[in-house]
Structure 1
Amino acid sequence: MEPNDKLIGTLFNKGILVNKDIFTNNVPENILDQIESESDLLVLNSDYVDIVTQPENLVDWYEIDKYRVDSEKDRNDELYQSHLQTFKRTTVTIQNTNNEKTIKQDVTSLETTLDNNSSTFSTESSFEEKPIISSSSVPQINSSVTIVISHKNVPKKYTVSDFAQFFVSRYKFLENILRSRQELQNTLTINRVLGKKERGAVSVIGLVQDINETKNGNLIITLEDVTDRIKIFVGKKDKMLFAQAKDLVFDEVIGVSGTSGEGIIFSDTILWPDVPHNLEMKKSPIEEYAIFLSDIHVGSNVFLPEEFSQFIKWINGSVGNEKQRAIAHKTKYILIAGDLVDGIGIYPSQIDELTITDIREQYEEFVRLISQIPSDKQIIICPGNHDAVHLAEPQSAFNEEFCSALFTLPNITLVTNPGMVTIGKTDTFSGFNVLLYHGYSFDYYVSEVESIRNSGGYHRADLLMKFMLKRRHMAPSFKSTPYYPSHKEDPLLIKVIPDFFITGHIHYSKVANYKGVTMICGSCWQGKTSFQEKLGHEPEPARVPVVNLKTRDVKILKFI
């Protein structure tokens, strides 16, 4: 019997089906030993072999199989590939201060990519080479940055109660917001609704525990609060309500009004915590500008050095027409929403696509580039999933061990992901609250929320940010991003309503307004990688959103 056939037979006897694609590469000799500890493994393919042979992986094979089956059924490979990268690892060699090499292992994550539609934002402009104008002709403006939210992660041994506290804190905060809504003034707890013997109008607030579709195409939502669970019926005949219900995701907190039945509520209204309608759109008394970058990816072999150099020249007032150079001089805030460098081991075979293969050297090159930015401009930075921090959110505000050069520039403010700062504050003006979030959870919601997927998916960061603002949470579904559960309150809640909500991650710039909140997704400074090409995505790099803080007008400047 051939060795491959023998392996197939052995695994079949263990209840594991084998996809022959595992034999396209050499199968590790110890594969059977590795599989012994994987009691719930039902299928073995080439992707799973990579995971099985990695040490210290704790894998829910049922969950991965669900993603695999869904990807085959819907012909959508993105979420499946994203989930796989959570478990694949790569060995990283790092030079320490004593010139001794230390071997570390970093968990990889998926690099998010884009579809190939054109931008719908029409205020792009390219740059003209002009003589430098004198900086004395532009008024100098003092700038201020105050950190409002930057989380501190305290390592500890986690228990089930830590995760429970996470959800309880989320529920209580969002419940308080929902109870202030006129439509939910007479809200009952779920156990009291279940105890009602007569039919009648009721309202409840709960967390979405499950979502199912009946054979007739209606929806049954299981809602839970701290007292019990109840079924919510949403009929397809009410098209508006049904469309709202189709956008529900696991673990989000909503309010529901309707008519009670026996163990069920027939809903007529679904409400989210949302942003108030009367939010003031603040404007600065001073004409100054803020610009927004993300996903620089220094170290990648498709990093765009010429385009980034053009940006550096512009911010120094060396290129552009007179108006553009005046904007550069009046720019006082540069906010960067993560992925400063390309990192190491972020996706399969990434090492072959790096021009800088040492993580410290990547950060040194990044700092060399941004140190050319005039020191009167405040630079605020949060990390992303390519940066040298843990993947679980909130991500720490960088690690001096790997990027010490980043801590040397006096005009840099480092915050966690997510984090919030206040910019533009004066004696007579309260300033603008800016929420920075890299956007790692975007992948999940593009895949899971039908209305976002059908309206442009990765090209519609505005819909993704609006989705989060309505839910007052940056990752309402527990599966949408790794969590750091050591906080007493859920740190991904949007407790303070921002004036600006800044994201990145998807390599496609987008600008929109929602109830007075200016939503901005940064572009990128990296061309198309092989991983992006595999998924059929096209980045739209070298765009820079620029905001006039006096008028709140936004333009996108194009450097490519």
Structure 2
Amino acid sequence: MSVEGAARIVRELTSRGYNADRETVAMIADSERPAAVLERVLRETPEDALVIRPELVRSARAAVDRAGDGTGGDGRSDRSSDGSERRLGPMPDSGSAPEDPSVSTGTDPERPSDGGGGSPVETKGSEPPDVDGEDRRETESESRVADRETVERETVERGDREVEIAGDMTGASTGTGEYRDFVAVFRDRLDRLGSKLKGRVNHRPASAIGSMPGGSEAGMVGLVNDVRSTASGHWLIELEDATGTFPWLVMKDREYAGLVDELLFDEVLAMEGTLADDAGIAFVDSMYFPDVPRTHEPSTADRPVQAALVSDVHVGSREFMGEAWDAFADWLHTDAAKRVEYLLIAGDMVEGVGVYPGQDEELDIVDIYDQYEAFNERLKGVPGDLEIVMIPGNHDAVRLAEPQPGFDEELRGIMSAHDPRIVSNPATVTVEGVSVLMYHGRSLDEVIAELPAEKASYDEPHKAMYQLLKKRHVAPQFGGHTRLAPEEKDHLLMEEVPDVFHTGHVHKLGFGKYHGVLAINSGCWQSQTDFQKRNNIQPDAGFAPIVDLDTLDVTVQKFS
């Protein structure tokens, strides 16, 4: 089945308001008279149906085969309901050779490397055997039968698969904006992340350390309250816990001095060292982050199955790359994508309204509900048998403060194509035993702004993600550019280590592995905006990272 053939069929179905899975599209495209079969299917599908089922295609194919003249077995020609000729354009016959999609490995000279995660591998169809005449036709026929049997078998297996969601706080917001909420969220953060650190140091509360004699060995776990340099070039770090604050001095010539420039306010940290003679300060000997254990071994799927990770679609923007998205949707219907069973979208489905000054001048669709309607139409183009999980982003119609709850019922009703699972930002989705932490990535702006370029940059967004993994929190710094909502529980910390960390927001493609965790920022589907031009930002648009869940290897498909 060619990409072109699948695309024509999908376009015709979605234009009538129907969804279809890959088996349905393949059965139509592989028939001897695909145009006749498609017209028969469209005539016989009830108007209130949403999904074209394979059983209906089988019935239509049988009827067209019996007629042998394209009449569908009832003497009617291939005409639409209004009597006009169907204009589907030339449809490929069943012997058409598959087309290779455009592929990007992400390793060309103008693109950042994967930061140590290994080079992605291009995926292309294998060459057919060197046979001629009848042998070739028999081989192709047997191959098509085998492919259909494989698709049917996999469809049965998909009916039994489960998608588990953890950390979805939609409908569970408790914050009122009062002072006690701020106290509660920081205490929860300190308690839960602190428990991962207290075993590494001889922990004492700040108030107890202040009463210890000079020269004593001390250890403390706390939130970073302040970081400043001294006149001598040393670093003074003030840690805070529930009992108070205590200052820790990092000498400029010690090995830990190089870690000071990684610190963000409000992250949880552990230090141990020696108290000064007057016990008013401690000299740092060791510094610990919650971090991902170096011994961490990620879980993988027990069968060859893939997930497509995308974000920042931005439907409604004049710069939305509709042709690239449609090419991606078409590719998902081909044999090259037959192992892609999951589509994970990390926010910014639409461009939004009033997100930034002057945005109205860059909108192609000015009504927010119309934007979501248009996004839903684009979503119809992907195979109906995909499991889809979506979280909101800062351009979406939810509260801006994080954690962001999932969309309200009205927007969920609009985005009904394929019945996607809509959860909060962040949330963890486990597919095939692989846990994927999905976070839109607003805090990456802050990490990149605060840390040195070699440790966090827009050109290598995955390295900024490494920092969040190290801190075990997706947005540790409060009061900066990232708006945070105080809750009784800190929904933004990483209590469990994910196998995959998926973000978007910065419109840059980058991926690599940090202590076994695959960190991947998936780029966008929006070409360069005026704002990005003014700030010299060149987006990585029209890319679809594909993750092999059984190996956690990444291949990047390019559609722009």
* Alignment pair present for 1:461 and 2:461: yes
Distance in 2 separating the partners of 1:386 and 1:358:
13
Does structure 2 conserve the Cα–Cα contact (< 8 Å) formed by 1:315 and 1:373?
A: yes
Distance in 2 separating the partners of 1:370 and 1:331:
15
Does structure 1 conserve the Cα–Cα contact (< 8 Å) formed by 2:112 and 2:460?
A: no
Bigger Cα displacement from structure 2, 340-349 vs 277-286: 277-286
Does structure 1 conserve the Cα–Cα contact (< 8 Å) formed by 2:219 and 2:271?
A: yes
Bigger Cα displacement from structure 2, 385-394 vs 472-481: 472-481
Q: Which residue of 2 aligns with 1:418?
A: 426
Q: How far off is 1:337 after superposition?
A: 0.3
Distance in 1 separating the partners of 2:262 and 2:280:
24
Distance in 1 separating the partners of 2:174 and 2:342:
33
* Alignment pair present for 1:207 and 2:223: yes
* Alignment pair present for 1:390 and 2:399: yes
AA in 2 matched with 1:267? V
SS of the equivalent of 2:195 reads helix
Q: Which residue of 2 aligns with 1:547?
A: 547
Distance in 1 separating the partners of 2:183 and 2:529:
40
Distance in 1 separating the partners of 2:471 and 2:112:
26
Q: How far off is 1:127 after superposition?
A: 8.3
* Alignment pair present for 1:479 and 2:518: no
1:94-113 maps to which residues of 2 (within 5 A)?
none
Distance in 1 separating the partners of 2:441 and 2:230:
33
Does structure 1 conserve the Cα–Cα contact (< 8 Å) formed by 2:456 and 2:464?
A: no
Q: How far off is 1:455 after superposition?
A: 4.6
Q: 2:120 aligns with which of 120, 123, 134?
A: 123
Q: 2:385 aligns with which of 355, 376, 384?
A: 376
Distance in 1 separating the partners of 2:123 and 2:354:
35
Does structure 2 conserve the Cα–Cα contact (< 8 Å) formed by 1:293 and 1:523?
A: yes
Q: 1:218 aligns with which of 206, 231, 234?
A: 234
Does structure 1 conserve the Cα–Cα contact (< 8 Å) formed by 2:473 and 2:494?
A: yes
Deviation per CA, 1:296-341, whole angstroms, max 9, x where unpaired?
Answer: 0001111111111110110011xxxxxxx33x11111110000000
Distance in 2 separating the partners of 1:529 and 1:329:
34
Q: 1:280 aligns with which of 288, 297, 313?
A: 297
Q: 1:158 aligns with which of 172, 177, 180?
A: 177
Does structure 2 conserve the Cα–Cα contact (< 8 Å) formed by 1:124 and 1:557?
A: no
Structure 2 residue runs without a partner (length 5+): 1-108, 128-139
Q: How far off is 1:179 after superposition?
A: 1.3
Distance in 1 separating the partners of 2:270 and 2:394:
33
Distance in 1 separating the partners of 2:296 and 2:122:
31
1:330-409 maps to which residues of 2 (within 5 A)?
330-402=339-411, 404-406=413-415, 408-409=416-417
Distance in 1 separating the partners of 2:163 and 2:438:
14
1:165-314 maps to which residues of 2 (within 5 A)?
165-181=184-200, 184=201, 186-238=202-254, 240-261=255-276, 262-314=279-331
Q: How far off is 1:363 after superposition?
A: 0.6
Distance in 2 separating the partners of 1:521 and 1:405:
27
Distance in 2 separating the partners of 1:229 and 1:417:
32
Q: 1:482 to 1:360 in 2, by over 3 A?
A: same
Does structure 1 conserve the Cα–Cα contact (< 8 Å) formed by 2:196 and 2:290?
A: yes
Does structure 2 conserve the Cα–Cα contact (< 8 Å) formed by 1:127 and 1:559?
A: no
Q: How far off is 1:354 after superposition?
A: 1.0
Q: Which residue of 2 aligns with 1:5?
A: none
SS of the equivalent of 1:433 reads strand
Bigger Cα displacement from structure 2, 198-207 vs 275-284: 275-284
Distance in 2 separating the partners of 1:277 and 1:537:
34
Q: How far off is 1:124 after superposition?
A: 7.2
* Alignment pair present for 1:147 and 2:147: no
Q: How far off is 1:356 after superposition?
A: 0.7
Structure 1 residue runs without a partner (length 5+): 1-115, 318-324, 425-430
AA in 1 matched with 2:331? W
* Alignment pair present for 1:433 and 2:435: yes
Q: How far off is 1:270 after superposition?
A: 0.8
Q: 1:149 to 1:556 in 2, by over 3 A?
A: same
SS of the equivalent of 1:519 reads strand
Q: Which residue of 2 aligns with 1:34?
A: none
Q: 1:341 to 1:125 in 2, by over 3 A?
A: farther
Distance in 2 separating the partners of 1:443 and 1:158:
24
Q: 1:456 to 1:165 in 2, by over 3 A?
A: closer
SS of the equivalent of 1:368 reads helix
AA in 1 matched with 2:450? E
Bigger radius of gyration among the two: 2
Q: How far off is 1:228 after superposition?
A: 2.0
Does structure 1 conserve the Cα–Cα contact (< 8 Å) formed by 2:456 and 2:463?
A: no
Q: How far off is 1:530 after superposition?
A: 0.3
Does structure 1 conserve the Cα–Cα contact (< 8 Å) formed by 2:120 and 2:553?
A: no
Q: How far off is 1:222 after superposition?
A: 1.0
Q: How far off is 1:345 after superposition?
A: 1.5
Distance in 2 separating the partners of 1:395 and 1:515:
28
AA in 2 matched with 1:144? E
AA in 1 matched with 2:120? T
AA in 1 matched with 2:167? I
Q: How far off is 1:117 after superposition?
A: 5.9
Q: Which residue of 2 aligns with 1:446?
A: 448
Deviation per CA, 1:406-427, whole angstroms, max 9, x where unpaired?
Answer: 1x23441111001111111xxx
Q: Provide the identity percentage.
A: 35
Distance in 2 separating the partners of 1:147 and 1:411:
15
AA in 1 matched with 2:445? D
Deviation per CA, 1:109-168, whole angstroms, max 9, x where unpaired?
Answer: xxxxxxx9633245375989x999754454514132121220034466432111011111
Q: Compute the TM-score of the two structures, normalised by the length of structure 1.
A: 0.72
Distance in 1 separating the partners of 2:345 and 2:306:
15
Does structure 1 conserve the Cα–Cα contact (< 8 Å) formed by 2:319 and 2:528?
A: yes
Q: How far off is 1:456 after superposition?
A: 5.7
Distance in 1 separating the partners of 2:362 and 2:379:
23
SS of the equivalent of 1:163 reads helix
AA in 2 matched with 1:315? L
Deviation per CA, 1:41-82, whole angstroms, max 9, x where unpaired?
Answer: xxxxxxxxxxxxxxxxxxxxxxxxxxxxxxxxxxxxxxxxxx
Does structure 1 conserve the Cα–Cα contact (< 8 Å) formed by 2:329 and 2:383?
A: no
Does structure 1 conserve the Cα–Cα contact (< 8 Å) formed by 2:306 and 2:340?
A: yes
Q: How many residues align?
A: 422
Does structure 2 conserve the Cα–Cα contact (< 8 Å) formed by 1:375 and 1:411?
A: no
Q: 1:270 to 1:540 in 2, by over 3 A?
A: same
Does structure 1 conserve the Cα–Cα contact (< 8 Å) formed by 2:379 and 2:417?
A: no
Distance in 1 separating the partners of 2:273 and 2:174:
44
Distance in 2 separating the partners of 1:276 and 1:345:
42
Distance in 2 separating the partners of 1:169 and 1:388:
28
CA-atom RMSD in angstroms = 2.2
